[in-house]
Structure 1
Amino acid sequence: MLKCHLSKIMGERKLKISDVSRDTGINRGTITRLYNETATRVELEVIDTLCGYFDISVAELFERVSQNNNQKK
């Protein structure tokens, strides 16, 4: 299972979903689903855009965790 750290990253930078959507051109609904961790699929272009916008790696945005006990793999 993948855990998305978008809400944490946005919180640390005091950004709102509307700010990120406006600045990146990514659909607000897509950002909302990533923020709430309800997205089931994401375009690679969206991941690339978010990583560029926040100047982070993919590993900082997503983390693979075990479904059984939510521990890091």
Structure 2
Amino acid sequence: MELKIHVSEWLGKKKWTQKDLSEKTGIRPATISALYHETVKRIEIEHIVALCKAFECQPGDLFTYIENKNVSSN
């Protein structure tokens, strides 16, 4: 399974930089970068709320679940 994080797409839509998003949300620049590059291992609920406020979206707009069909379910 994979979770696609749409922060980079939202930054493009808003024409914001990662620094802009960090300033608007209070989320550390390193965390914004990890979200942008989809290398983050976990995300705090508070960060999801801050991103939703900044982007004026719902949590489901930030993430897409992709099921890995190659994994067998034993």
Give the equivalent residue in structure 2 for 1:35: 36
Please report the RMSD computed on the Cα atoms of aligned residues, expressed in angstroms: 1.2
> Is it true that 1:9 corresponds to 2:36 in the alignment?
no
Mapped to 1, the partners of 2:20 and 2:63 lie a distance apart of 20
Mapped to 2, the partners of 1:42 and 1:29 lie a distance apart of 13
- 1:12-57 deviations in whole A, cap 9, x for unaligned? 1110000010121110011100000000101110011101111101
**Number of equivalent positions:** 69
TM-score by length of 2: 0.87
User: Mind listing any 5+ residue stretches in structure 2 that lack a counterpart?
Assistant: none
> Is it true that 1:44 corresponds to 2:68 in the alignment?
no
Give the equivalent residue in structure 1 for 2:25: 24
TM-score by length of 1: 0.88
> Is it true that 1:56 corresponds to 2:57 in the alignment?
yes
Which runs of at least 4 in structure 1 moved beyond 6 Å after TM superposition?
none
Give the fraction of aligned pairs with identical amino acids, expressed as a percent: 39
Larger radius of gyration: 2
Determine which structure has greater relative contact order: mean sequence separation of CA pairs < 8 Å that are 6+ residues apart, divided by chain length: 2
- Structure 1 range deviating more: 60-69 or 12-21: 60-69
